[in-house]
Amino acid sequence: ILVATTYSGGVMAPFSIIVSGPSRVSLLYINTTSVTPMNSTTATIASTTQGTTPLQTPAVAMNSSCLVWNQNPIAVAGNGTAGNNTRSLNGPWDLSIDTNLNLYVSDGGNNHIIKFSSGNLVGIPLISRVGNGLSQVSNPSGSIMDANGNLYVSDMFNYRIMKYANISSASQSIIGQVVPGGSFGFNYNQQWISWGVAVDALGNVFVSDYGNNRVMKWAPRSTNGTLVAGIGNGTAGNGTNQLSCPLGIYIDQSMALYIADACNGRIQKWLSGASTGTTVGGANGQLGFPTDVSVDNYGTIYAWSAGGLYRFYPGSTSGTIVISSYTVCFGFKFDSVGNVYIADYESNVISKYTVNSTSCGTRIASISAASSKVASMAVPNHRAIVEAAILKTRS
């Protein structure tokens, strides 16, 4: 079933429609010079072009507002001890999951991108050398998989985003492509602390720049980015047009951008082309330092912060904790049935929280949220880790 999610234009003028399905987005451009009014019995379309373009893998295709998770996770990658062999991790920032449930871990401390085939605790290093070559990375952080199986990774200390095409078929060392960035700075062709990454249906790459307090959009083959959120000169703030320490980001099927605005303790939503954002999560200081965000196909928002994984129903900026944990986590992902995978930075593992219930007859009660006082105790831990990374780039 395909559903029209975005319409641009007017009845008597050129227009475009975005039609989306469960696993990808089909983008239809319809250009016309003669369209009769909608209440007429006929309509003439002068020319039509149609194509299919990738969107990032959806968070959860089902209505995840009904899901309940087992609160005892299982380790699906890493052995809990920091190390650089194929069974261990060292400070994993984030992960992505392909359609075969293989995991791709941004193992920052080891400068690895390592693949764990589904059910296998022995990893395959795809990138295992530090440097700025096309087969190297330097402290990889945020990542996303698009619907065509291309993996995008934020290469933090190289100030760039790397794209690895058709990653699911990889079984040995790979060579990537620089899609945006590559140098340190404040200009629109530069990045400071590359972190979150997202991809829209047109192939535009969005990057949250923690150090410059902004999110930039890079069109395919572009050498310069375009400011889409925050202040261009890098000034931090808590206004509707400002950000402070942005981390994880997400693009939904309507092309709206969601930002974990970490130092402001909120989730911001920026509509495509908007000059200001709207707070959609984090009322009354509930989110101390959100590190990542995801959205399901029904508009339910998920954010990781001190205390665990929060769920925000559409229209509510106050959330409830659905996975209770004080794990230091900077990235999480859902698989196709709603299981949650988190990159446990301190414990050096990828943990999986399995779905306990998918009954959608009524909204099942969530785990009681921790008090904001208790949750705030874990906030400095997350921020101190990120600030240490920033200091490393200055040295």
Model confidence, pTM: 0.81
Question: Please, what's the b/e burial string for 166-205 (b: 16 or more CB within 10 A of its CB; e: otherwise)?
Answer: ebbebeeebebeebbbbebeeebebbbbbbbbbbbbebbb
R_g over Cα of the chain: 21
Distance set, CA 328 to CA 143, 262, 315, 379 (Å):
17, 14, 28, 9
Cα 369 to chain center, whole Å?
24
Q: Is the pLDDT of residue 379 over 50?
A: no
Q: Which residues pair with residue 218 across a beta bridge? A: 205
Q: Percent of the chain at pLDDT above 90? A: 60
Nearest to 18 by CA among 337, 253, 260, 352: 253
Rounded Cα distance between 152 and 203, Å, is 11
User: What confidence score (pLDDT) does residue 352 get?
Assistant: 98
For the stretch 61-87, pLDDT in tens is 456 678 899 999 999 999 999 999 999
- Per-residue pLDDT at 235: 92
The residues with which 325 forms a beta bridge, in sequence order, are: 307
Which residues, 6 or more positions from 347, have their beta carbon under 8 angstroms from its beta carbon?
78, 80, 327
The full set of domains in the chain, from first to last, is: 67-358 (2.120.10.30)
Average pLDDT, the chain: 81
pLDDT tens figures, 194-232: 899 999 988 999 999 999 999 999 999 888 999 999 998
The count of C-alpha atoms lying within 13 angstroms of the C-alpha of 248, restricted to the half-sphere facing its C-beta, is: 28
Residue-wise pLDDT tens digits, 103-158: 999 999 999 999 999 999 999 999 988 999 999 999 999 999 998 899 999 999 99
Q: What is the pLDDT of residues 245-294, one digit of tens each?
A: 999 999 998 999 999 999 999 999 999 999 999 999 997 788 999 999 99
CA neighbours closer than 13 Å in the CB half-sphere of residue 363? 12
Among 19, 103, 71, CA closest to 334: 103
